[in-house]
């Protein structure tokens, strides 16, 4: 996207919003001209305007190797008074509207839209306000997708084991990636395996969401992976965010996403990457196809690739979470009684999550360190988020004892009183599957002394 297509400042954000939409290639979220007519500026003012293209300052053109142009807005009834530019955005310290140097940058860097592009806070608020109205009118929310261990799994070629060598003869062609799932990406010196069901997942999710990729990988890697997942740019356009585009080191944030937090969901396998947005997060079970991936997370077992196996398509993580996304979308648009613009997808997510272990009362045994405050443990918090009640004391209302050792006093009590005795993985599995799991699949063994 060249600066020739960027708009001049006007009293509404329509021009700038249009520029950002074109830059992002958000074809899936575009409405027709008739639909767009419904989204006028809030002040409701009617002005007759005409636009003409004029040459921009030579300094901007030279910066990008071409003569850039902007749209200038004129009042058709009287000569306009001089307007002081508010510098809504900048590229390489030059205002994208007036071309003047911007000495003090404030706002958010949006380098994935255009190199060295910044948008100030007021303008990004206006853009989001305009975009949310369009998205809600089209019955769409926002979905931010992690890459590694969520949609795919990659390994460096020199990290492949002897038992994985057979994969070199089974790779799919990069000339037509739309039907493939295993690719050798020589430009990155990597092999990449797409998660089962990912093609159908993206197709169906795109009908409910405007989607972004957001990875902690480098930009070059992110773009190569996007080519595999979305070769025709029909799902993501240019909405591909890498760690180079974030505002905090080792963290991801919705501040660089042009969508309201109240309408955004996140799929990621790493909770700690989203410390400011945990209420938007759906935690994904990690996809470990390659041996190096298992080793990275401390699993000393054969990988799916070494076992010549893979995750189930109809019962795997992406198929499961797609059904969850459909339920959230339906609840948000069709079951809530609030005004559409006032609805918050985070509340829908919280409500749906609390149904999973509703009615369960849990006591933990030999799960936390002896001096650890039980209420602060991740499993305790997870169980409560899933709707369970947690306690440190046994009583007749307890339904489940969660333990790692069948020989503890509380574990023996559970067996005697015919309560459920389950391993901690029961809670984790219920969380990942968004459904209370069968207790008999998570037995507890007695620890040898």
Q: 3-state SS string over 274-285?
A: HCCCHHHEEECC
* CATH match for 357-441 among 3.90.1300.10, 3.10.580.10, 1.10.8.80, 3.40.50.10190: 3.40.50.10190
Strand partners, 42: none
What tokens were used for 202? 């993206």
Cα–Cα nearest to 254, from 274, 279, 238, 283: 274
Answer with the residue of higher pLDDT: 105 or 153: 153
- Residue with more model confidence, 152 or 78: 152
pLDDT band at residue 181 using 50, 70 and 90 as cut-offs: very high
User: 4-13, 116-125, 332-341: which has the minimum mean pLDDT?
Assistant: 4-13
What ranges do the domains of the chain cover?
A: 3-83, 89-119, 139-335, 357-441
Work out the number of other CB atoms within 10 angstroms of the CB of residue 10. 19
| C-alpha span between 19 and 17 (Å, rounded) | 5
How confident is residue 371, by pLDDT bands cut at 50, 70 and 90?
Answer: confident
Is the model's pLDDT at 25 over the cut of 90? no
Please give the average per-residue pLDDT across 123-128, as a whole number: 93
Start-to-end CA distance of the chain, whole Å, equals 67
CA 185-198-260 angle, to 5 degrees, is: 105
Q: Say if residues 444 and 423 touch (Cβ distance below 8 Å).
A: yes
Strands 49-55 and 69-75: antiparallel
DSSP-assigned beta bridge partners for residue 125? none
User: Which of 23-27, 54-58, 348-352 bottoms out in mean pLDDT, i.e. has the lowest?
Assistant: 54-58
> In whole angstroms, what separates CA 3 from the centre of its chain?
28
Q: How far apart are CA 3 and CA 57, in angstroms?
A: 11
Exposure letters 83-118 (e unless 16+ CB within 10 A, then b): eeeebbbbbbebbbbbbeebeeeebbbbbbbbeebb
Give the number of other Cβ atoms within 10 Å of residue 153's Cβ. 25
What is the rounded distance in angstroms from the CA atom of residue 303 to the CA atom of residue 292?
Answer: 8
Domains 139-335 and 357-441 share a fold: yes
pLDDT digits (tens, 9 = 90+) for 243-279: 999 999 899 999 999 999 999 999 999 999 999 999 9
Q: Tell if the pTM clears 0.75, that is, is over it.
A: yes
Q: Which fold has domain 139-335?
A: Rossmann fold (3.40.50)
Adjacent-strand bridge partners of 420:
400
Longest dimension (CA), the chain: 92
Taking only the tens place, the pLDDT of each residue in 38-53 is 444 344 433 333 233 2
Q: How many residues does this entry show for the chain?
A: 449
Whole-angstrom distance, CA of residue 438 vs CA of residue 376: 26
Q: Residues 92, 234, 346, 130: what is their CA dihedral angle, to the nearest 10 degrees?
A: 60
Residue 412, SS3 per DSSP: helix
**pLDDT confidence band for 68 (50 / 70 / 90):** very low
- Asked if residue 57 has pLDDT above 60, the reply is no
Angle at 143 between CA 430 and CA 194, to 5 degrees: 70
Range picked from 81-85, 97-101, 193-197, 444-448 for highest mean pLDDT? 193-197
Q: What is the pLDDT of residue 365?
A: 95
Q: Is residue 426 scored above 80 in pLDDT? A: yes
Q: Please, which pLDDT band fits residue 84 given cuts at 50, 70 and 90?
A: confident
Tell me the HSE value of 7 on the side-chain side, using a 13 A CA sphere.
Answer: 19
Specify whether the backbone of 21 is left (phi greater than 0), alpha (psi in -120 to 50) or beta: alpha
Q: How many C-beta atoms lie closer than 10 Å to residue 255's C-beta?
A: 17
Q: What's the rounded Cα separation, in Å, for the pair 60 and 67? A: 8
pLDDT at 21: 62
Q: How far apart are CA 433 and CA 436, in angstroms?
A: 8
DSSP state of 101: B
Residue 346's closest CA among 146, 202, 141? 141
Position 14 pLDDT exceeds 60 = no
User: pLDDT digit string (tens) for 297-348?
Assistant: 999 999 999 999 999 999 999 999 999 999 999 999 999 888 999 999 999 9
Token reading at 144:
């931010």
Average pLDDT, the chain: 85
Out of 55-59, 123-127, 219-223, which region has the weakest mean confidence (pLDDT)? 55-59
Residue with tokens 């974030």: 246
């Amino acid at each position: 996207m060249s600066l020739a297509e960027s708009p001049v400042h006007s009293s509404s954000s329509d021009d700038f919003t249009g520029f950002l939409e074109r830059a992002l290639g958000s074809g899936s979220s575009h409405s027709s001209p008739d639909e767009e007519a419904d989204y006028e500026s809030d002040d409701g003012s009617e002005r007759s305007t005409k636009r003409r293209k004029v040459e921009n300052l030579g300094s901007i053109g030279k910066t990008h190797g071409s003569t850039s142009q902007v749209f200038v807005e004129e009042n058709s009834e009287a000569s306009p008074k001089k307007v002081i530019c508010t510098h809504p955005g900048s590229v390489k310290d030059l205002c994208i509207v007036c071309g003047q140097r911007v000495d003090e940058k404030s706002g958010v860097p949006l380098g994935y839209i255009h190199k060295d592009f910044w948008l100030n806070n007021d303008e990004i608020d206006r853009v989001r306000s305009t975009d949310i109205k369009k998205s809600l009118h089209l019955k769409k929310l926002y979905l931010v997708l992690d890459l590694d261990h969520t949609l795919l799994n990659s390994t460096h070629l020199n990290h492949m084991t002897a038992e994985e060598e057979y994969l070199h003869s089974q790779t799919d062609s990069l000339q037509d990636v739309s039907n493939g799932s295993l690719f050798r990406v020589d430009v990155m010196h990597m092999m990449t395996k797409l998660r089962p069901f990912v093609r159908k997942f993206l197709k169906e999710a795109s009908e409910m969401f405007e989607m972004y990729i957001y990875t902690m990988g480098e930009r070059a890697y992110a773009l190569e992976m996007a080519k595999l997942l979305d070769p025709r740019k029909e799902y993501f356009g240019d909405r591909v965010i890498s760690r180079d585009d974030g505002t905090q080191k080792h963290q991801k944030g919705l501040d660089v996403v042009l969508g309201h937090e109240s309408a955004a969901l996140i799929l990621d396998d790493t909770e700690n990457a989203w410390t400011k947005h945990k209420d938007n997060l759906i935690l994904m079970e990690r996809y470990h196809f390659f041996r190096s991936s298992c080793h990275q997370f401390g699993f000393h077992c054969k990988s799916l690739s070494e076992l010549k196996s893979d995750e189930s398509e109809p019962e795997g993580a992406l198929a499961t979470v797609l059904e969850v996304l459909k339920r959230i979308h339906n609840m948000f648009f069709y079951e809530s009684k609030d005004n559409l613009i006032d609805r918050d997808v985070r509340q829908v997510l919280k409500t749906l999550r609390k149904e999973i272990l509703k009615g369960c009362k849990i006591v933990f045994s030999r799960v936390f360190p002896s001096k650890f405050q039980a209420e602060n443990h991740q499993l305790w918090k997870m169980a409560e988020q899933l709707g369970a009640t947690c306690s440190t004391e046994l009583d007749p209302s307890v339904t489940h004892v969660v333990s790692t050792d069948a020989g503890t006093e509380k574990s023996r009590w559970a067996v005697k009183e015919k309560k459920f005795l389950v391993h901690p993985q029961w809670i984790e599995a219920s969380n990942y599957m968004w459904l209370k799991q069968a207790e008999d699949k998570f037995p507890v063994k007695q620890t040898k002394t």
